């Protein structure tokens, strides 16, 4: 049990809360997209009962894909950054620098999860399986980006944005403009809060020659970029709901989500980073869950 806990800590399993709700939204949007495509007269709850039940196996494999992909990405990031983590006082307590997990074990764990991810994608449909290597390239490739570009935050956002898109494709084997807008919103959301989180390492990144928006532009300008990204996220979230024909329950959830983005921006100051973890973990975790609950409720009861 202790060994399992070490690996759960290595991959920060609790942070799955960021992307998983958006994957669920993408899945349910896919279910209702199919219902509309078939021109069914069923109400929302009837669509769920019919289409969701017939796609239950796909739903389970979507969840597995999320878990395996994220586990592979996090373990690889810890493996690749182990020397930097050992030097950084903030990250020196991580499992590899402390010797709790060996680099070789972390790499084997990465490979295992990558294979399980591709296997789960294969069980969904041919389209997901063919796209799975591209997804792995993005989420694993992110770990290299901080070595050469300050746009690493955007790459991380792209990685997490694959959650709603992948779940939608898993159900429909197609794409829709509404899910594209939702995925773009995720890119802005994740990139914005990752910039906030990386403010803690501004000095270290500069000293070690690592690239990040704070190291490149300084705290004040980095916060400005983060706020612009979150402003774009708010516009894209509402646009996605409008394009999909969602109603007031969705709008309420989107407004609450937006309010939490504004809240996290308000508690992080250029000269005060003491509340970064609240902004990063608490506000974003609540925001993603609230958005998913309201959006899925709208789909079921107002469609």
Residue with tokens 């990465």: 110
**Facing residues of 269 across strands?**
272
pLDDT of residue 200: 94
Residue in 20, 25, 16, 18 with CA at minimum distance from that of residue 182: 25
- Say which CATH architecture domain 2-301 belongs to: Orthogonal Bundle (1.10)
pLDDT of residue 52: 63
pLDDT of residue 219: 95
Distance CA 268, CA 259 (A): 15
Tokens of 124: 């969904």
Q: Where are the domains of the chain?
A: 2-301
Residue in 72, 68, 59 with CA at minimum distance from that of residue 24: 59
CB contact at 8 A, 128 and 170 = yes
Q: What is the pLDDT of residues 160-171, one digit of tens each?
A: 999 999 999 999
pLDDT of residue 38: 58
pLDDT along the chain (303 residues), means of 10: 72 75 94 72 62 78 95 95 95 92 95 98 96 97 96 96 96 95 98 95 94 96 97 98 96 97 94 84 90 94 74
Q: What is the DSSP secondary structure assignment for residue 101, as one 8-state letter?
A: S
pLDDT of residue 72: 95
Distance CA 167, CA 59 (A): 8
Ranges of H-type helices in the chain: 2-10, 20-37, 44-47, 53-54, 56-80, 82-87, 103-124, 126-145, 152-172, 177-198, 202-208, 213-217, 219-244, 248-267, 276-277, 284-301
Residue in 262, 252, 251 with CA at minimum distance from that of residue 284: 262
Sequence-separated (6 or more) residues with CB below 8 Å from residue 8: none
Q: What is the pLDDT of residues 97-126, one digit of tens each?
A: 999 999 999 999 999 999 999 999 999 999
């Amino acid at each position: 049990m202790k060994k399992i806990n070490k690996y759960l800590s290595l991959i920060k399993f609790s942070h799955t809360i960021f992307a998983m709700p958006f994957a669920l939204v993408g899945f349910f949007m896919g279910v209702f997209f199919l219902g509309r495509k078939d021109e069914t007269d069923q109400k929302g709850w009837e669509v769920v009962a019919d289409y969701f039940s017939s796609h239950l196996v796909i739903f389970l494999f979507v969840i597995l894909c999320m878990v395996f992909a994220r586990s592979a990405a996090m373990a690889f990031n810890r493996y690749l950054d182990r020397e930097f983590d050992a030097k950084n006082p903030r990250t020196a307590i991580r499992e590899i620098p402390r010797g709790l997990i060996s680099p070789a074990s972390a790499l084997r764990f990465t490979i295992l999860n990558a294979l399980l991810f591709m296997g789960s994608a294969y069980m969904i449909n041919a389209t997901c399986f063919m796209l799975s290597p591209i997804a792995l390239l993005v989420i694993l490739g992110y770990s290299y980006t901080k070595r050469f570009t300050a746009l690493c935050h955007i790459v991380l956002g792209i990685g997490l944005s694959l959650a709603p898109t992948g779940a939608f494709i898993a159900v429909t084997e197609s794409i829709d403009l509404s899910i594209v807008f939702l995925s773009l919103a995720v890119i802005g959301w994740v990139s914005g809060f990752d910039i906030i989180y990386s403010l803690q390492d501004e000095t270290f990144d500069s000293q070690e020659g690592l690239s990040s928006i704070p190291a490149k532009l300084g705290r004040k300008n980095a916060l400005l970029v983060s706020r612009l990204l979150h402003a774009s996220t708010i516009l894209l979230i509402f646009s996605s709901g409008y394009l999909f024909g969602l109603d007031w329950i969705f709008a309420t959830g989107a407004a609450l989500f937006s309010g939490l983005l504004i809240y996290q921006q308000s508690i992080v100051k250029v000269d005060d980073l003491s509340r970064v973890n609240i902004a990063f973990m608490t506000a974003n975790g609540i925001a993603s869950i609230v958005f998913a609950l309201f959006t899925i409720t709208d789909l079921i009861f107002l469609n």
